[in-house]
Amino acid sequence: MSEDFKKIAQNVLNEIFSLIEEDFENFEVDYEEENLKFEDGSMIYIVSIHELTSQIWLSSPKSGAHHFEMKKNKSRIFWVSTRDDSIELFDLIKNELSN
């Protein structure tokens, strides 16, 4: 599971990288090892792969720390907050960066 998780999680970081570069030009985005860091000068976000728990962690200056678990349905993989299963990783990032 660990190798599969790591590959899937790395793809998620790549998707977030592309999302920010394409839709949020005011943010600078960089990789730092297995962390994705994006900032606009006043706010810094960090998205990390946490292999031990098979989670992706988000540190947000607006909403704090979040841990996301991978969920699957028939057609897709998505990442849901361990604190509130109504929060999905990509939705949270898009909402916070848009406001």
Quickly list DSSP for 27-42.
Answer: SEEEEETTEEEEE-SS
Q: Which domain holds residue 16?
A: 2-90
- Would the pTM of this model clear 0.85, i.e. be above it? yes
- For residue 81, being part of any structural domain is answered with yes
Which among 54, 72, 39, 59 has a CA at the least distance from the CA of 4? 54
How high is the pLDDT of residue 35? 94
- For residue 97, being part of any structural domain is answered with no
Give CA–CA dist 46/57, Å, rounded: 8
Please state, in angstroms and as integers, the Cα–Cα distance from residue 13 to each residue in 34, 38, 57, 74, following that order.
Answer: 9, 11, 11, 22
- For residue 34, being part of any structural domain is answered with yes
- For residue 99, being part of any structural domain is answered with no
Which among 1, 98, 15 has a CA at the least distance from the CA of 53? 1
Residues in the chain: 99
Query: For 23-53, what is each residue's pLDDT tens digit?
Result: 999 999 999 888 999 999 899 999 999 999 9
Tokens 């728990």 -> residue: 53
**DSSP conformation class of 59:** E
Query: For 48-96, what is each residue's pLDDT tens digit?
Result: 999 999 999 999 999 999 999 999 888 888 999 999 999 999 999 999 9
Q: How many domains does the chain have?
A: 1
CATH number at residue 42: 3.30.920.10
